Structure 1
Amino acid sequence: MGLADEQAALVAALVAGGELPAGFDAARVGIARDALLRKRAGEVAAAWPLLAAHLGTQWTVVFAGWARNRPPGGALRDGWDLARALAAAGRLPTGAAGELRARERRWRYDGVRPPRRRTLGAILHSGR
């Protein structure tokens, strides 16, 4: 494995639940991974304030549990994907459900491509 491959594997271990490459201290990488998850949770909380607020003290735990093995998609997408996952599991707090509905009304997001703003006509006719 070349240096570039080792670096890619380390990044995957840090942010996407990938296997830790040989020669790295698992405890130190774990500390760094947890710090990156907390940072990511803060970024998502800024983009999805009601989701974070309504999960309260459980926000970081819930987010980290969901995000631990997922590569970052950006704060908007990560929050959207988490909100949809919580809704599908019947665990989305009521206050956060309103935030998700507002996003679904104003943005188009299929879970694959980046979110795009809906046109005014689509918003007015969405019935949401």
Structure 2
Amino acid sequence: MSAPGSARPGDLAARQAELVAALVAGGPLPPGFDPGPVDAARRALLRKRAGDVARHWPLLAAGLGPDWPATFARWAAGRPTNGSLRDGWDLARDLRARGELPPLGAEELAVREAGARYAGSGAPRPRRLPALRRVGGAVAVQLAGRVRLLRPARR
């Protein structure tokens, strides 16, 4: 029998999962939690995640300049992370689809897509055959495992 006020292990795990969902995946705030500290923690985790993605996608982040943190936070809010590499790749593709991908980000995306296959799920896999990718005017080629940017994006 549980002591009064203590949670059973299954209840605790469920409440922890609800809290994690509220912090990183846009889930609703679980009952009994103060929204202020949870929101502050959520924003801090988004900033940390943006920094991690910027380390994997430095040209994308540099191309967005001072708009990087806000752009990333808008895109990532409500999305659980798939890891920094995949999050950056998904963001770059989303920005490209909306016509908002900066030239530096286009170059970085072209190079990544020439060197690896990524279907939006699962880990990117190195390409074995030659590949040519065009993104926003940037052209990258992969041949014999080496990737080169042949033409930069239009500025």
Shorter-chain TM band? over 0.9
Number of aligned residues: 124
Secondary structure of the residue aligned to 2:132 is: coil
- Specify which of 48, 70, 80 is matched with residue 61 of structure 1: 70
| Greater relative contact order (CA < 8 Å, ≥ 6 in sequence) | 1
How much does 1:77 deviate? 0.3
Structure 2 CA distance for aligned equivalents of residues 79 and 63 of structure 1 = 9
Identity fraction in percent: 59
Q: 2:43 aligns with which of 34, 43, 47?
A: 34
Q: Which of the residues 100, 103, 107 maps onto 1:98?
A: 107
Give the alignment's Cα RMSD to 1 decimal.
1.0
Query: Greater helix share, 1 or 2?
Result: 1
Runs of 4+ in 1 over 3 A off after TM superposition: none
Once the 2 structures are TM-superposed, how far is the Cα of residue 127 of structure 1 from its aligned partner?
Answer: 2.8
For 1:42, the aligned partner's letter is G
Partner of 1:127: 132
Q: Which runs of 5+ in 1 are unaligned?
A: none
1:13 maps to which residue?
Answer: 22
Partner of 1:44: 53
Q: Which has the larger radius of gyration?
A: 2
What CA distance in whole angstroms lies between the structure 2 residues aligned with 1:117 and 1:5? 38
Gaps of 5+ in 2: 1-9, 134-155
TM-score normalised to structure 1 length = 0.94
Question: Which of 77, 80, 92 is 2:86 aligned to?
Answer: 77
Per-residue CA deviations over 1:30-56 (Å, capped at 9, x if unaligned) read 000000000000000000000000100
Cα distance, 1:113 vs structure 2: 1.3
Code of the aligned partner of 1:93: P
What is the distance in 2 between the residues matched to 1:15 and 1:108?
27
Matched residues in 2 for 1:7 and 1:104: separation? 37
Q: Deviations over 1:13-38 (max 9, x none)?
A: 00010011000010100000000000
Higher strand share: 2
After TM superposition, the score normalised by the length of structure 2 is 0.78
User: Deviation at 1:2?
Assistant: 1.1
* Corresponding letter in the other structure for 1:83: A
